[in-house]
Amino acid sequence: MEDDRALLERLHAGDENAFEALVTQHHGSLRRVARTFVRTDAAADDVVQETWLGVLRGLADFEGRSSLRTWIFRILVNRARTRAARDARSLPFSALETDEGPAVDPTAFGADGRWSSAPARLDGDPETGLLSAELRRHLQQAIEGLSPDQRAVITLRDLVGLEAGEVCDLLELSDANQRVLLHRARARVRTALLPLVEVTR
Amino acid sequence: MRRFFRWRRHRHDPLVCREFVELVTDYLDGTLPEEERARFDAHLAECDGCRGYLEDMRRLVGSLRELPEPPPDPATREALTRAFRDLR
């Protein structure tokens, strides 16, 4: 928010570099989030374009009551919903999906509820503390395999890095639903990566 | 089976792995109630499998945050900058 204030001043003063930096920072994330609402890349591009035009129109009146980022994503979600409704081809976004399956395949556990053998590990990269480069290459595909609502939540929380409360507001989800969707989404991404892992038992 | 499992176990029993994995997201968000957090930590201290699982989820979340975003193509970027300039 502190950074926001300086950036806003520059934007209000017409600083093109500041605007270009803003676009560079958020464009990719906006596109990812838009894509969870609409079915095609082209539609997502339209939505992002409309979002930036909305940002330009609203900028003079934006007073910084929310963070700049939250404000931009709110515009995006509104535009994306409108577009999805117009295309009427989007999958319904709702928390109606009963999403209660376990995070881990139940056969991984014995009758006592403990791992029947040590769970397979995802390969890490010791230098970065992240997943191995090989696994990271498959993350995008794993996310695309999620249901639209799981995908929207994991994108906003983990890829964009918004707080739980912000995501609840943006997607009109209850706190409990947001948590379940995120939990299931992460677990499914892990499961999708497991076949790529060399199992050593 | 699940129902039986729930009925049999009590709130104060130590966690088992099957329960642990369902609490990982809340744990990482820091939203576990204190008592559950203590059971989570106690299990973590004694279970290599769950320590590995938690570490993997941390890696996974960290990696998602670092997924590269394709930059806007130059034409889009230029069109947006022009629109910004035209505001004034």
Residues in A closer than 8 angstroms to B83, CB to CB, are 52-53, 56
Angle between helices A68-87 and A2-12 (to 10 degrees): 70
> What is the model's pLDDT at position A199?
60
The backbone region for B49, taken as left when phi is positive above 0, alpha when psi lies in -120 to 50, beta otherwise, is alpha
Whether the CB of A136 is below 8 Å from some CB of chain B: the reply is: yes
Kindly report the nearest CA distance between residue A87 and chain B, in angstroms.
23
Give the distance, in angstroms, between the CA of residue A20 and the centroid of all CA atoms in the same chain. 22
The percentage of chain B sitting over the pLDDT mark of 90, rounded to a whole number, equals 72
Cα torsion through A124, A183, A69, A29, rounded to 10 = 60
Whether the CB of A140 is below 8 Å from some CB of chain B: the reply is: yes
CB contact under 8 A, A121 and B18: no
Kindly report the nearest CA distance between residue B79 and chain A, in angstroms.
10
pTM of the model: 0.86
* Per-position pLDDT tens, chain A of length 201: 557 889 999 999 999 999 999 999 999 999 999 999 998 999 999 999 999 999 999 998 998 888 899 999 999 999 999 998 888 754 555 544 555 688 999 999 999 999 999 999 999 998 898 999 999 999 999 999 999 899 999 999 999 999 999 999 999 999 999 999 999 999 999 999 999 987 654
Residues B21-40 as b/e (b if ≥16 CB within 10 A, e otherwise) read bebbbbbbeeebeeebeebb
Name the stretches of chain B with pLDDT < 70: 1-12
